Amino acid sequence: MPTQAERRATTRAELLDAAAATLCDHGATRFTTTEVVRRAGLSNGALFRHFPTRHSLLAATVEHVLGQLRSDFDAAYAAAGGAGGAGLDVSDLLALVWGVMVDHRLAAVYDAYASARTDDALRSAIEPVVRAHLERLAQVGREVLVSIPGVDAELAERASYLAVMAMQGQVVNATVLPEAVDGTALLASLEQTAAALLGSAALAAAPC
């Protein structure tokens, strides 16, 4: 028989799954606790025992969605050789990160970012979550780039940051410019930039 702690964890997970679906379907401005409990099939009391405010729920939802994206990314990264074995090159890495960037769940998270611009409480709640997510993407970039012979670690750090910020900018544009979803030109430009900054070896397979 499940313990009380296990039941609480299950309820929290059900609420977050329902909240993530609500955020993806309706965006941050139409994100309501009423819709979340309806989807979860739970009561308002159950929700507020875990998340006393809408801000705390929305921040936890952003963290939940980003956690799902990181988990999917880590699995793809390992399958592509990032956890040892065949290894990755810069092209592989850019394609993996771009896959995260164009995921519809991340678009929902960006909707929460936009709401946080004019909502101090929401911004404070999601700031540490966003920082952790960006650091994970940058960490993977560093792992791949510093494995390339002769590449300076500090330069690898800057290159990783540049790539993530460039992709994020294009994805934001894609909310109103559908053609921006096609990242072919951007990824090619980033590959060329990597070669210029890090040397032509950056485009060759790099063991991890």
Mean pLDDT for the chain overall: 86
pLDDT surpasses 80 at 201: no
SS (H, E, C) the chain: CCCHHHHHHHHHHHHHHHHHHHHHHHCCCCCCHHHHHHHHCCCHHHHHHHCCCHHHHHHHHHHHHHHHHHHHHHHHHHHCCCCCCCCECHHHHHHHHHHHHCCHHHHHHHHHHHHHCCCHHHHHHHHHHHHHHHHHHHHHHHHHHCCCCCCCHHHHHHHHHHHHHHHHHHHHHCCCCHHHHCCHHHHHHHHHHHHHHHCHHHHCCECC
Q: What is the pTM of this model?
A: 0.83
pLDDT at 154: 83
- CATH fold of 62-203, please? Tetracycline Repressor; domain 2 (1.10.357)
Per the model's pLDDT, the better-predicted residue between 36 and 160 turns out to be 36
At position 31, the amino acid (one-letter code) is F
Q: Quote the CA–CA distance of 151 and 185 in Å, as a whole number.
A: 25
Query: Which of the four pLDDT bands, split at 50, 70 and 90, describes residue 52?
Result: very high
pLDDT surpasses 80 at 116: yes
Mean pLDDT of 149-155: 78
Top mean-pLDDT range of 5-19, 84-98, 117-131, 144-158: 5-19
Domain boundaries, the chain: 62-203
pLDDT at 187: 93
pLDDT surpasses 60 at 203: no
